[in-house]
Amino acid sequence: MIDKNGLASHLEVVRRESPLVQNITNYVAMNNSANALLALGASPVMAHWTAEMEEMVAIAGALVINIGTLDAEWIEGMLAAGRAAHRRGTPIVLDPVGAGATSHRTRTAWEIIEQCHPTVIRGNGSEIMALVNADVKSKGVDSTASSDDALEAAKALAVRTGAVVVISGPTDYITDGTRTETITNGHPIMTSVTGMGCTASAVVGAFVATGEDALLSATHAMAVMGVAGERAQKVAGGSGSMQVAFLDELYNLTGEALKNEVRQ
């Protein structure tokens, strides 16, 4: 179980330090992720040009690599940024969007893992399972497996890669292969808002940039996502207003609300 006071304190640290989170992310999620980081109190930069990777990574508190919209140049930039971040000891969050949908996506995710050594790998159940078992297929970016189904695969992936693995779902699982934490906040309507999983990876980036323990930091990030999502659902009229309400709830979220409402 996480320390709720530590969770609340970490939110305040993110806001006080306002870490620069570099995102190499997909076209669909750029605006959502940037606005979520700003609402949280962090500072986003959406940079993918290979030529500036060394300089950009040098000033970033964390690097988030999201493979949602791939092409050869973007992959080159991802690998260059990831290698630079690893050399510097900068935390890296990998979001293997659509792993299992095509062999190219799964192979690219593994190239990044093997060359960049991510600190955290965050995906849905199917994506995490596909990284462990090539026979697992996903439906585009949508999961066909529950987070419960993927837990053993997540533990195996964590042991194999040395990364903390986060599975998003009705229950979020966060594991390093030995320790496992859960977050049960959230609401099903969050799956109807495009880029919400990508936003979660960006938020994880802000927390690992400001925390010493990657597993606890990722757990804190997922707690923030879940609590903000639940609070937003109560005032949203549908998926469109949910997107705006979620940003408002991130902006207005207090440590006290987190402590009172987080569920594990």
Could you give the 3-state DSSP secondary structure of residue 93? strand
181: left (phi over 0), alpha (psi -120 to 50) or beta: beta
Q: How many domains does the chain have?
A: 1
pLDDT for residue 141 is more than 50? no
pLDDT for residue 165 is more than 60? yes
Domain ranges, residue 212: 4-261
Residue 85 half-sphere exposure, CB side, CA atoms within 13 Å?
A: 34
Say if residue 114 is exposed, middle or buried (CB neighbours under 10 Å; 0-12, 13-18, 19+): exposed
CATH number of the domain enclosing 211: 3.40.1190.20
Say if residue 190 is exposed, middle or buried (CB neighbours under 10 Å; 0-12, 13-18, 19+): buried
Question: Token pair 């159940």 is at which residue?
Answer: 125
**Exposure string over 13-38, b if 16+ CB within 10 A, otherwise e:** bbeeebbbbbbbbbebbbebbbbbbe
Instruction: Answer for the pair 147, 168: CB distance below 8 angstroms, yes or no.
Output: yes
Confidence of residue 133 (pLDDT cuts 50, 70, 90): confident
C-alpha span between 108 and 249 (Å, rounded): 34
- What is the 8-class DSSP label of residue 188? G
Q: What is the mean pLDDT of the chain?
A: 94
pLDDT for residue 11 is more than 50? yes
CA angle 96, 100, 102 (to 5 degrees): 100
Which range is most confident: 54-58, 138-142, 146-150? 54-58
> In the numeric block, which tokens belong to residue 7?
């969770």
The arithmetic mean of pLDDT across residues 74-90, rounded, is 97
pLDDT for residue 146 is more than 80? no
Say if residue 191 is exposed, middle or buried (CB neighbours under 10 Å; 0-12, 13-18, 19+): middle
